[in-house]
Structure 1
Amino acid sequence: MSATGVMEPPCLAPGLRLPEGLSAEEARTQLAAQGVRYALASFVDLHGVCKAKAVPIAHLPAMLAGSELFTGAALDGVPQDVSDDEVATLPDLSSATVLPWRPDTVWMASTLHLHGQPFEACSRGILERVRGQAARMGLRFHLGVETEFFVLKRGADGSLAPASSSDSLEKPCYDLRGLLDNLDWLDELVQAMNGLGWGVYSFDHEDGNGQFETDFGYADALITADRVTFFRLMAREITRRHGLIASFMPKPFADRTGSGAHFNMSLADLESGTNLFTPADGAGSWVSPLGRQFIAGILRHAPALCAVIAPTVNSYKRLVVQGSMSGFTWAPVFICYGNNNRTNMLRIPGAGSRVECRAADSSCNPYLAAAMLLAAGLEGIREGLDPGEPNLVNAYRLSPEEREARGLHALPRTLGEAVEAFAADPLGREVFGEAMAEAFISFKRQEWASYHGAISRWETERYLELF
């Protein structure tokens, strides 16, 4: 993975790119000439799930000018009252992506506006604001996200199983047979990603039966967040056409590894594009002093960050040392950093010059997650923070006393704990704005309360006839 990345204009169809600087009418003409009939002005809700309106391509210029209006009160995490004026989508023409499975339709990532001004509680707008802070410091945030997900089939009785019936090994990580059994839908997905210019460089069978990962090119954080958002939509659509279900639930099975979304991060010089996390002497697998400060900022705010990068009740069933399975979970549990050590929240891979956050999972809203991680890292740089000594041992095997002596503290154990940490940390309100922060806290507290009001199968099996 390149540490600085190359930001290319997006592909509208395999081999065809949308030129920069087109007017709305020129874009409409070019898209119509390709056979595009509909345009989607898309944005995300609190969960990072795509919402949109469609317009006939003849109305593209009006759509680009903000013609499509949405009632925020009808959506999760768009904090409006039913009596408020509607928010408008302003699509980013540079994000235009023709749907690989439906080439008569083009998707565009959009930022919400209200009364002609950016809407403070827009997820994409929140990331744009923090990117602006970085730019004023002469920095550009580069990001790569490892997309892990399960692909499953539903049986006649409603049960879920891996797409391939032979995908049943005790240790299926990197299993070639499982990979080949799934190559039809994987090939369609990877070809679509590469047709869009994403630069897929690896994909594999992961550590859980039915679990896969795709890795594609590093880019500016906003481009990557747009791509992750579109990827989840695309993976669901392509697998559905094969009679399968793509799930980005962090931990769908208690006895299998969960799905992370490791955020690989670096900062580049805004003008030259030089990776500023590369040590001056180019030595080893570490990062520059600026990179260490960035790490320190993230560690300072780790409990609050968890609410955003691991945002569901289910997320915390992934963030355990050892669950209902054999062996360790490979999930980070401790607020620390280190080298190629996967027990840390933050890992510096062997190639160095970047930082990987392993606590993020596949259910996160990529715009909000990237914004919070960047804001915390920038604080560490502004204040010249020191992350302390790295953890170079398997923290899973340390006793509680040894962890205490090393200053290794655990990440939040539940969504409830993480949300209260977010509510208590001023960084959340600084990044989200007051309205979005309150909406996020309120929604997640309700989610946690609702979970505790539900009766699980585990409870009925354990207690129904116990007494």
Structure 2
Amino acid sequence: MKKLTAYLNEHKITEVECVISDMTGIARGKIAPVAKFIDEKGMRMPESVLLQTVTGDYVEDEPYDALLDSADIDFVCVPDENAVFQLPWTIEATAQVIHDTYDKMGNPIELSPRNLLKKVLKLYEDKGWKPVVAPEMEFYLTRRNEDPDQPLIPPVGRSGRQESGRQSFSIDAANEYDPLFEDMYDWCEVQGLDIDTLIHEEGTAQMEINFSHGDALSMADQVFVFKRTLKEAALKHGVCATFMAKPVADEPGSAMHLHQSIVDVKSGQNIFSMKDGTKSPLFFSYIGGLQKFIPELLPLLAPNVNSFRRFLPGTSAPINLEWGEENRTCGLRIPESSPQNLRVENRIAGADSNSYLSIASSLLCGYIGMVEDVKPSTPVQGRANESRQSISLPLTLEEALGVMSESVACREYLGEAFTMGYIAVKQADLASYKRVISSWEREYLLLTV
């Protein structure tokens, strides 16, 4: 705690937000005065928090109650001194500290998303490898929406006009929201978030922020913090920012594109490339692993009912696991690069996914591919969604959860407790969704059937 205490004193922090990520990616925790935080060296929270759904409900049905102690005991949350972020939008000088979770014996809690990512990274560490990740986050800006039954509409920009049409890569369209983005960049700099390029995406008032490449755990932390930062900046300027995968009908969905490469720790060389610059066998087996195992881990990349609206036929999102060089219609794109920077871009993950789980699942699929020498398909030329359907994805959350529940790889690598717990949370979300009568049903069925 010496490093963390010094940071809090140096920045004159008066309050600490002690947070963990739940399965959905929601920050849950406690707010404590800095003196109490330093004295207690962390916090305790009930185990059930990690089986909390997006609606705030808890998973309580059989057989999932076997995952928790019947007394709803606490787990221990230990602050990570390398995951401290000052919050620029608060009145009091406040720091957000991400915690790791352990049981009373000091064992990592299996249901923790952050612990799961660390578990996957340990597999790489044991091989002498280190993943390098660069996320790209797409999102929409919208007017504030007080009625969930009403569709989202674009906000009014500096010109006083609402954006209309699609303005891909338009500088002027992005500049409409300059005051918001100036705050976003300033706040990210204060927090040490390594964001890079801002792009106006294809959708109306849809944007993309690119992160610089870096350590996988650090990047997952940064995306977790960035989502909250952007939402706070938007609220300050009277609008909303959403990372829903498909927030607006007839507009493109929002993805979390994950660029990933693997470095040999001893040599510092990218293991995807041979010394002569050609692609290595490990590169091809990494792609093979993504193709083979993403369908089994898809709920970690597409975690919500809404996630699968992004995969509807005719949308701009890739609904395939084909791969190709410089081909954005493929679910797995190989950007043009030097041999040392050779990487795979996973374009399947939604912006709504939990950053810890999406990064962990993508890295895990590639890892299994390399250790099992899984062969990929041949690369695609042209439009992948139209060329063939040999490698398909589940197209509903219900179907994807069924595939995950049958996966041997999930239980072997993610663990029985995490696999059961995650499926339980998402099945509870699905059941909650099914109880809601939609506006479509009222519009087309109310007076016609």
Same fold (TM over 0.5): yes
Deviation, 1:82, is: 5.1
Q: 1:82 and 1:70, CA in 2 relative to 1: closer, same or farther beyond 3 A?
A: farther
Q: In the comparison of the two structures, how many residue pairs are matched? A: 426
Of the three residues 187, 194, 206, the one matched with 1:192 is 187
Tell me the secondary structure at the aligned position of residue 263 of structure 2: strand
Tell me the secondary structure at the aligned position of residue 93 of structure 2: strand
Q: Please tell me whether residue 440 in structure 1 is matched to residue 428 in structure 2.
A: no
Tell me the secondary structure at the aligned position of residue 322 of structure 2: strand
Pairs within 5 Å for 1:313-352: 313-322=305-314, 329-351=315-337
Q: Please tell me whether residue 307 in structure 1 is matched to residue 337 in structure 2.
A: no
Pairs within 5 Å for 1:98-113: 98-102=86-90, 104-113=93-102
Q: Which runs of 5+ in 1 are unaligned?
A: 1-23, 323-328
Q: 1:381 and 1:75, CA in 2 relative to 1: closer, same or farther beyond 3 A?
A: closer
Identity rate, percent: 30
Q: How many Å separate the matches in 1 of 2:405 and 2:185? A: 40
Tell me the secondary structure at the aligned position of residue 318 of structure 2: coil
Q: Please tell me whether residue 44 in structure 1 is matched to residue 24 in structure 2.
A: no
Query: Is contact 2:3–2:81 with CA below 8 Å preserved after alignment?
Result: no
Provide Cα deviations, 1:320-361, integer angstroms capped at 9, x if missing partner: 231xxxxxx321111221111122111111226000110101
Query: Is contact 2:50–2:111 with CA below 8 Å preserved after alignment?
Result: no
Q: How many Å separate the matches in 2 of 1:336 and 1:123? A: 28
Deviation, 1:155, is: 6.2
Of the three residues 9, 20, 24, the one matched with 1:32 is 9
Query: Is contact 2:321–2:393 with CA below 8 Å preserved after alignment?
Result: yes
Q: Which residue is 2:64 aligned to?
A: none
Q: Please tell me whether residue 255 in structure 1 is matched to residue 250 in structure 2.
A: yes
Q: Please tell me whether residue 456 in structure 1 is matched to residue 433 in structure 2.
A: no
Q: How many Å separate the matches in 2 of 1:156 and 1:387? A: 47
Q: 1:371 and 1:332, CA in 2 relative to 1: closer, same or farther beyond 3 A?
A: same
Deviation, 1:25, is: 4.0
Q: How many Å separate the matches in 2 of 1:431 and 1:63? A: 34
Q: Please tell me whether residue 72 in structure 1 is matched to residue 53 in structure 2.
A: no
Q: How many Å separate the matches in 2 of 1:265 and 1:351? A: 13
Deviation, 1:58, is: 2.0
Q: How many Å separate the matches in 2 of 1:414 and 1:462? A: 23
Pairs within 5 Å for 1:60-459: 60-64=37-41, 66=42, 68-77=43-52, 79-81=67-69, 83-102=71-90, 104-115=93-104, 116-154=106-144, 160-164=152-156, 166-282=161-277, 287-322=279-314, 329-351=315-337, 353-398=342-387, 403=388, 408-459=390-441
Q: 1:118 and 1:155, CA in 2 relative to 1: closer, same or farther beyond 3 A?
A: closer
Q: TM-score, normalised by structure 1?
A: 0.86
Deviation, 1:447, is: 2.6
Q: Which runs of 5+ in 2 are unaligned?
A: 53-58, 60-66
Moved over 4 A (4+): 155-159
Tell me the secondary structure at the aligned position of residue 32 of structure 1: helix
Q: 1:374 and 1:420, CA in 2 relative to 1: closer, same or farther beyond 3 A?
A: same
Q: TM-score, normalised by structure 2?
A: 0.89
Q: Counterpart of 1:455 in structure 2: which amino acid?
A: I
Provide Cα deviations, 1:200-231, integer angstroms capped at 9, x if missing partner: 32101111112111112111110000001001
Deviation, 1:453, is: 3.4
Q: 1:281 and 1:252, CA in 2 relative to 1: closer, same or farther beyond 3 A?
A: same
